[in-house]
Amino acid sequence: MSSTIDLNVRNATTGYDAVNVLHDVSVQAKAGNITCILGSNGAGKSTLVRMILGLTPARSGNVAFGETDITKTRTHKVIGKGISCIPEGRAVFPKCTVLQNLRLGAYGVESEDEIQNSLKNVYELFPRLHERKTQIAGTMSGGEQAMVSIGRGLMSSPELLVIDEPSLGLSPLFVTETFKIIREINNRGTSVLLIEQNVKQTLAISHYGYVLGQGRVVAEGTSKELSSSEAVHSAYFS
Amino acid sequence: MKILSNKIGIFAATAVLAVYVASLMHAESQLTVGILSVLFGSAWFIGDKTGASQMLDKGIKENGRFSSTMFLAAIIGVAIYLHDDHFNLLMLTTVMVFVIACLGLNIQFGYNGLLNFAGAAFFGAGGYTAAVLTQNTQIPHLLILLIGGIVAILIGFILILPVLRTRGHYAAVVTIAFSLLFRTLVEVSPALGGAQGSAVKGLNILGWEFNKNIDIAGLDISFYMNYFVLALILLLIAIAFSKAIERSWIGLNFDTVRLDETAAACFGVNIKRWKITAFAMGNFILGLIGAFYAMMLGFIAPNNFTFGDSLIMVSIILLGGIGSIPGIILASAIVIILPEKLQGIQEYRFLIFAVGVILILLFRPNGLIKRKMRQFPKTKAQGE
Amino acid sequence: MDGSRMDLALFSQYIVNGLMQGMVYALVAVGFTLFFGVLDIIKFSHGDVLTVGAFSGLTAYLALSGMGLSNPVVLLLLVIIFALSVTALLGMVVAKLLIIPLKQARAPALNILLITLMLGTVLRETVRLFFPNGSSSKAFPTLLPTGGIDIGSFSLRIDSVMLFVAGALIIVGTHFLITKTKLGLAIQAVAQDEETSKLMGINFDSIVLITFALGSGIAAIAGIMNGLYYNEINFSMGLLLGAVGFSAAIIGGLGNLYGAILGGFLFAGLQTFAVVALPIPTAYKDVFAFAVVIILIAWRPTGLIAEKYSERV
Amino acid sequence: MTNISLKATGVVKRFGGLVALDKVNLEVHNEEVLGLIGPNGSGKTTFFNILTGIYSTTDGKMEFRGKDITGMPPQAVFKSGISRTFQRARLCLELSVFDNVAIGDHPQLNQGLWFNIINRKAFRHEYGSCHDRVAELINQFAPHLSSKLNEPVGNFPMIDRRRIEVCRALLGNPKLLLLDEPSAGMTEEETRQLMDEVIDIRKKRGDLSVVIVEHEMGIISRITDRCVVLNFGKKICEGTYEDISQNSEVQKAYLGDDL
């Protein structure tokens, strides 16, 4: 069962207080694809995520998920439309157990059967979470928390998974592991919007990408095009 | 409108204010008081809307010394007008007592950001010191005022460790607990008169009996005029002290500690030192004026120093505008005079007061008169 | 007290009293902790919500017995339901109209603190002014069996046992709700991380409203318990109970359910200890308890039950 | 006397299970501009916070101009001559420009009660000289603010706040200036201007070293003499910008491994 809904951000501008961080950004995450957003610190990547999810609504332009305009939709309703998020820094609920974290990922799911099914899938992907399901998440290592966060993001069987800097603060070995899992998730039919600063591994697994710099899209293209493009390199080492 | 920004305007404004306060004090019927209150509210509102207030504000800023003198003259004028009126002189003096107490609290909380919900307890500590010392010793009364302040400082030091170690809500509970503790303590201590309270001797400075009516050239003047004059002097000192603090490096330290402890520490500010200083200064003022108040009333009881009274002091500061001296004066006047005068609403005064505070905090979160930017004294080089 | 051997019956009476008080304190503290958990605010009107609860209960009783209803079980049930509904609604209205908007406008914590303090005054004064003859104490009806069980020279009142068990059930029930149900999970999520909870699809505002309804409802129960135990309520009962409940929540560790319960019983324990074991007049028990609270806060500025995981995740 | 201003040896910082800094050795030479770079979460700001005493170290030692400053509280670190700016400009927005900058002069100002409250004449004198120094710095870094010293900082845009922050950090004549992401919230051009002014000051003062945390490599390449690269709390490389930008470890840290 493969996702069929595109996410479209059109000419969107947003920011905090008096300062605009994103200027006239247009991005598309095609159904079934892994789309990546690259850029160095402070380029506006996380703000883009916040805008899509309704945490920092767009000031102009719009965001649409398939036919539905979600520009002004409140966050908990955006999630209900089939988008799920693995937030920056993982943001597990530190005082909750692994199982509670996963169940919160399926908060909008009514059927217990579906939840059990999702749990089974997550445990299959991360057997370690099954072993540790009663552990308090805040006491786990960074890598384990990353598993919890990814697993939690999958619990609602989303159409689109938005992943914000999964490599942040993880050891290189685990970063590689995480990227493999993201590819696996995509292979099972979920579209992915991947926000990363780790260029090479990101481009290796994604289909299409955008490079943000100073809050604007400075380059876009298929991952092959971007891999050979100077724009990417210069977005980091200008 | 422009006339308001020069000396004539300021003179006229203070004159109007004096006449207004005098009539309010003098008003007997509830209708008159009601009309006068509404008048004040509408004048305030209209002044704000038409820009008259801003003009006046500008004028006061440009003619600082003149304005203060006028204002002082207005207060004295009102007092002279009320010279034989015990009740109203007492009320006017009580307002000044609260202004001074709140100026103390303001150093802690307006400048330094230290929450103190036990203002009435430190005020009471001074009061009970006065009660014990006037009853049992021959210590000169002026000295007793100072001792009242020192006792409040010492009692404050009991709390200093938790006050320094906590922030926010946790800090609030320390002073709230102390406030409740203090009240119960005085209520159940036979030595302090228990729930019935304790008598306090009236002030006597260098043989001058404050509790005797004065007779000057056949003019009968209420004995409260003595207290009025001393309170006014104390008030002027307290204002000068507050202003000196604010316009000094100490005031700057207080403000930075309040606004950003980490940044302040990174630039060499010793956070603990300034918190202790502010706490001690504030408590001293509270204790001193508490002793004065007890001696003026001649009697104190635990009911004067409840958590509710502490709350009224904090409300005065927030209503007036945190850190704002004119704001504290205005808010104290409103909070003390209005319920006394509006006997018709006497029964409802707490309710109205509480609703009023909520509304002001919601719609005017900076208080009635927002604190001005710090103005350091002008140096010669800055003449231009 | 002359320091000689204490009467066993009196001693037991103090213990029972202490346990009852501890239960009431704990129930109030649980409310403070819930509100702080979800919104990081102290709602100081909480003690007066308790008063409103007790008086609503009394109102319901007067109305129902006026209609001729006399079955104590039914009466008690209806009294509780009515009081619960009134306070739960009150809690939601306050949260919806005052606290959530203030939080969203990023009002200074101090302003919120003061607004809720003043709101408490409004509630208290409303009861005093508008309840018939509200400024004097009111007799609270006896709706529980009045008998006692004799154990030696000591008689244990049945109603105290029932009240204690009821309080314990409420606490256990709240604990169950928070830890074992989906709603509780959502409350926990909101308390730990507002933004991430929204990312889970949780409607933040409605969870906050439900939490306020819950905390306020528990306060009503505490108020009724207090009334049933002492057979008397008055308009200012919530003031001290609120302050004690707040202190209890703080010394336990704000935002922690166990901390609130621990704090509540600890405070009552201190009062009882002061009465039973210290050579000071009984009237000093609050002075002693509050003094220990201040010392505890100096020693453990963020409460007795500290968080187990590191701050930076 | 060696050429070393700051010497950090084996600095470790743990937050619970997370190792934010892992045995970092770092030297700042006298009068150099050192770039401290690395991807997000690599420990740059943590290093600043440890150095200035906001966090305590788990292990390691820091010497500044031959003096051990490990474990000193922030005030003491500042007094020894280390001054900083913050990633999210930490200014007191309600206070005036003058107030915010003047606090940077704290150790030089008489803090006595008598001096401040009673002896107003002496205070006014000291205020005057402090005012002159503040005005001079503001004139240099933000001339358009010279006439607005008494306006609240909250009225000004980010670029001005950054400038005010730099003035505050420079007022006390530090020997080591730490700049934490000065470009955050500013355009490239604005950052460039500000940095040019910082370099200018450094040249004038002579004995000032600068450590700058920055992700805008354009700025790093223009102004630094040397760079240290952190990744996962470890120092992975140091050298001139040209050297490090060619270094394969650094490229890996920024662009990632091949899968």
Question: Which positions in chain B touch C242 (Cβ < 8 Å)?
Answer: none
- Min mean pLDDT across B282-291, C152-161, D42-51, D208-217 is at C152-161
* Number of structural domains chain D divides into: 2
Secondary structure (3-state) at C157: strand
Contact C125 B350 (CB under 8 A): yes
Residue D220 is assigned to a structural domain of this protein: yes
Does D159 lie in the same domain as D191?
no
Question: Which positions in chain C touch D17 (Cβ < 8 Å)?
Answer: 310
What is the residue-averaged pLDDT of chain A? 90
Q: Is D15 on the interface with C (CB under 8 A)?
A: yes
Does D153 lie in the same domain as D215?
no
Contact B259 D111 (CB under 8 A): no
Residue to mutate among A38, A41, A232, with most D CBs inside 10 A, is A41
Please, how many CA atoms are within 13 Å of residue D127, restricted to the half-sphere of its CB?
25
Strands D59-64 vs D67-68: parallel, antiparallel or unpaired: antiparallel
Instruction: Considering only the beta carbons, identify the residue of C185, C199, C204 that sits closest to A85.
Output: C199
d(CA B332, CA B334): 5
Q: How large is the greatest C-alpha to C-alpha distance in chain D, in angstroms?
A: 71
Residue to mutate among C199, C204, C309, C311, with most A CBs inside 10 A, is C199
DSSP A153-195: HHTT--SEEEEE-TTTT--HHHHHHHHHHHHHHHHTT-EEEEE
Question: Which positions in chain B touch D93 (Cβ < 8 Å)?
Answer: 259
Picking from B357, D148, B110, the residue whose alpha carbon sits closest to that of residue C115 is: B357
pLDDT tens column, D126-184: 999 999 999 999 998 888 999 999 999 988 888 889 899 999 999 989 999 999 988 87
Q: Is D217 on the interface with A (CB under 8 A)?
A: yes
Contact C186 A107 (CB under 8 A): yes
The pLDDT value recorded for residue A6 is 92
The pLDDT value recorded for residue B384 is 37
Q: Is C290 on the interface with B (CB under 8 A)?
A: yes
Contact D127 B264 (CB under 8 A): no
CB contact burial D118-144 (16+ within 10 A = b; e otherwise): eeeeebbebbbebbebbbebbebbbee
Class of domain A1-82+160-171+192-238: alpha beta
The pLDDT value recorded for residue B379 is 58
Name residues whose C-beta falls within 8 Å of residue B272's C-beta, 6 or more positions apart in sequence: B164
d(CA C87, CA A211): 54
Q: Confidence class of residue C308 from pLDDT cuts 50, 70 and 90? A: very low
- Whether the pLDDT of residue C4 is over 50: the answer is no
d(CA A143, CA A126): 11
pTM beyond 0.95: no
Q: Is D135 on the interface with B (CB under 8 A)?
A: no
Pick the residue from chain D with its C-alpha nearest to C308.
D16
The alpha carbons of chain C give a radius of gyration, in whole angstroms, of: 20
Residue D122 is assigned to a structural domain of this protein: yes
DSSP A81-143: TTEEEE-TT----TTSBHHHHHHHHTTT---HHHHHHHHHHHHHH-HHHHHTTTSBGGGS-HH
Q: Is D181 on the interface with A (CB under 8 A)?
A: yes
- D168 vs C107, residue with greater confidence: D168
Rounded to a whole number of angstroms, the distance between the first and last alpha carbons of chain B is 28
Q: Confidence class of residue A238 from pLDDT cuts 50, 70 and 90? A: low
Q: How many CB pairs under 8 A join A and C?
A: 76
Subunits in contact with chain B (3 or more CB pairs closer than 8 Å) = C, D
Does D21 lie in the same domain as D68?
yes
d(CA D213, CA D195): 12
Strands C154-157 vs C148-151: parallel, antiparallel or unpaired: antiparallel
Picking from C40, C98, C120, C87, the residue whose alpha carbon sits closest to that of residue C216 is: C87
CA distance A3 to chain D (A): 25
Q: Confidence class of residue C278 from pLDDT cuts 50, 70 and 90? A: confident
Secondary structure (3-state) at B208: strand
Residue D242 is assigned to a structural domain of this protein: yes
The pLDDT value recorded for residue B2 is 63
Pick the residue from chain C with its C-alpha nearest to A143.
C313
Task: Identify the domain boundary among D140, D172, D204.
Answer: D172
CA distance C308 to chain D (A): 10
d(CA C234, CA C237): 6
CA distance D102 to chain A (A): 27
d(CA B179, CA B310): 8
What are the residues facing A135 on neighbouring strands?
A: none
DSSP D17-81: TEEEEEEEEEEEETT-EEEEE-STTSSHHHHHHHHTTSS--SEEEEEETTEE-TT--HHHHHHTT
Q: Where are the alpha helices (DSSP H) in chain C?
A: 8-39, 46-66, 72-94, 100-104, 109-130, 158-180, 182-192, 194-199, 204-230, 237-252, 257-277, 285-299
d(CA B332, CA B339): 12
Subunits in contact with chain C (3 or more CB pairs closer than 8 Å) = A, B, D
CA distance A18 to chain D (A): 8
Range of the domain at D7: 1-81+174-259
d(CA C7, CA C47): 34
Residues in chain B: 384
Task: Identify the domain boundary among D172, D199, D219.
Answer: D172
Q: Is D56 on the interface with C (CB under 8 A)?
A: no
The pLDDT value recorded for residue C183 is 95
Picking from B252, B261, B270, B258, the residue whose alpha carbon sits closest to that of residue D75 is: B270
CA distance C248 to chain D (A): 29
Q: Is D94 on the interface with C (CB under 8 A)?
A: no
Chain position carrying tokens 């336990």: C252
Picking from A3, A45, A6, the residue whose alpha carbon sits closest to that of residue A29 is: A6
The pLDDT value recorded for residue D186 is 74
Instruction: Considering only the beta carbons, identify the residue of C109, C118, C250 that sits closest to B173.
Output: C250
Contact B354 C42 (CB under 8 A): no
Picking from B2, B9, B1, the residue whose alpha carbon sits closest to that of residue B70 is: B9
The pLDDT value recorded for residue C2 is 45
Q: How many CB pairs under 8 A join C and D?
A: 12
Contact C291 B181 (CB under 8 A): yes
Q: Is C243 on the interface with B (CB under 8 A)?
A: yes
pLDDT tens column, A88-132: 888 999 989 999 999 999 999 999 999 999 999 999 999 999 999
Q: Confidence class of residue C155 from pLDDT cuts 50, 70 and 90? A: confident
Contact B184 C287 (CB under 8 A): yes
The pLDDT value recorded for residue D259 is 53
CA dihedral B334, B336, B339, B341 (to 10 degrees): -90
CB contact burial B174-192 (16+ within 10 A = b; e otherwise): bbbbbbbbbbbbbbbbeeb
**What angle do helix axes B224-246 and B86-106 make, rounded to 10 degrees?**
20
CA dihedral (C249, C255, C260, C266) positive or negative: negative
Contact A75 C182 (CB under 8 A): no
Q: Confidence class of residue C301 from pLDDT cuts 50, 70 and 90? A: confident
CB contact burial C11-44 (16+ within 10 A = b; e otherwise): ebbbebbbbbbbbbbbbbbbbbbbbbbbbbbbbb
Q: Give this complex's ipTM.
A: 0.85
Q: Is C287 on the interface with B (CB under 8 A)?
A: yes
pLDDT in tens, chain B (384 residues): 566 677 888 888 888 888 888 888 888 788 888 888 888 888 888 888 888 888 888 888 888 888 889 999 999 999 988 888 888 899 999 999 999 999 999 999 999 999 899 999 999 999 999 999 999 998 999 999 999 999 999 999 999 999 898 877 788 889 989 998 998 899 888 888 888 888 998 888 887 888 888 877 778 888 899 999 999 999 999 999 999 999 999 999 999 999 999 999 999 999 999 999 999 999 999 999 999 999 999 999 998 888 888 988 998 998 899 999 999 999 999 888 888 887 777 788 788 888 988 998 888 888 888 888 888 876 544 443
The pLDDT value recorded for residue C156 is 80
Residue D239 is assigned to a structural domain of this protein: yes
Question: Which positions in chain C touch B160 (Cβ < 8 Å)?
Answer: none
Strands B219-221 vs B214-216: parallel, antiparallel or unpaired: antiparallel
Q: What is the mean pLDDT of residues C145-163?
A: 81
Please, how many CA atoms are within 13 Å of residue C144, restricted to the half-sphere of its CB?
22
The pLDDT value recorded for residue C309 is 42
CA distance C313 to chain A (A): 7
Contact A79 C204 (CB under 8 A): no
pLDDT tens column, A197-214: 888 889 999 999 999 988
CA distances, B347 to each of B55, B355, B356, B384 (Å)? 39, 14, 15, 57
pLDDT tens column, A7-43: 999 999 998 877 788 999 999 999 999 999 998 777 8
d(CA C300, CA C266): 15
d(CA A156, CA D80): 55
Q: Is D154 on the interface with B (CB under 8 A)?
A: no
Q: Confidence class of residue C311 from pLDDT cuts 50, 70 and 90? A: very low
Question: Which positions in chain C touch D49 (Cβ < 8 Å)?
Answer: none
- Min mean pLDDT across C3-12, C209-218, D86-95 is at C3-12
Q: How many CB pairs under 8 A join B and C?
A: 113
- Whether the pLDDT of residue C111 is over 60: the answer is yes
Residue D47 is assigned to a structural domain of this protein: yes
pLDDT tens column, D91-101: 999 999 999 99
Q: What percent of chain D has pLDDT over 70?
A: 97
Where are chain C's structural domains? 236-313
Contact D102 B252 (CB under 8 A): yes
Instruction: Considering only the beta carbons, identify the residue of D215, D254, D255 that sits closest to A42.
Output: D215
Rounded to a whole number of angstroms, the distance between the first and last alpha carbons of chain D is 49
Q: Is D222 on the interface with A (CB under 8 A)?
A: no
| Six token digits for residue C111 | 């302003």
